[in-house]
Amino acid sequence: MTERMALFPLNTVLLPGCVLDLQIFEPRYLDMVSRCFRQNAGFVVVTLEEGAEAGPGAVRFKALGCEARIIDWERRDNGLLGIRVEGGRRAEASAVEVASDGLLSASVDWLVEQPDAELLASHADLLALHTTLLEHPIAAALKLPAVAGSQQRLAWQLAYLLPLDVEEKLELLAQADPLLRLQQIERWLRSMQA
């Protein structure tokens, strides 16, 4: 099902079930956040290929993105609005339009997920790594939901917590099968250790 959604181009990748803290100061994004609150709606984070996150000017971005739902907000000490978003559905953006205030919107198709599955015995090492990563104080403060045997959650959280680059995270975001995501992460970990 296609929907019209606001886009938020960033130099990062938002992943389903993971969180991202944003500082909002441009009028176009303050208006967008206000609409999100009023309509109980989200927006789509897309990854920049060219251009700046803030200010006027043309930008190029990947069509693949992730729905962002606002789960918390605060007025920061510097007077700016801080929001925390959680990643939702994977999205493919097309037919981009630019509003008079510079806000981008697009027709968004939600990508189909393959069914989640229980973790396998072969995932024990990945689960142990995940547990170790969550012991770090910064990771613990994120309050990520429990993995609880889910291949989807383990793959997304490892992609979020490991030092993967933007292209690697986009590769995982493009993959619909949670088992294949985990297998790719295992290959990258082996290559990091070599």
- pLDDT tens digit sequence for 33-60: 999 999 999 999 999 988 766 666 667 8
Sole residue written with tokens 């994120």: 142
The pLDDT of residue 148 is above 70: no
164 confidence band (pLDDT: 50, 70, 90): very high
92 confidence band (pLDDT: 50, 70, 90): very high
pTM of the model: 0.90
C-alpha 150/C-alpha 174 separation (Å) is 19
Instruction: Give residue 64's pLDDT.
Output: 96
Strands 43-50 and 2-10: parallel
Instruction: Give residue 40's pLDDT.
Output: 93
69 confidence band (pLDDT: 50, 70, 90): very high
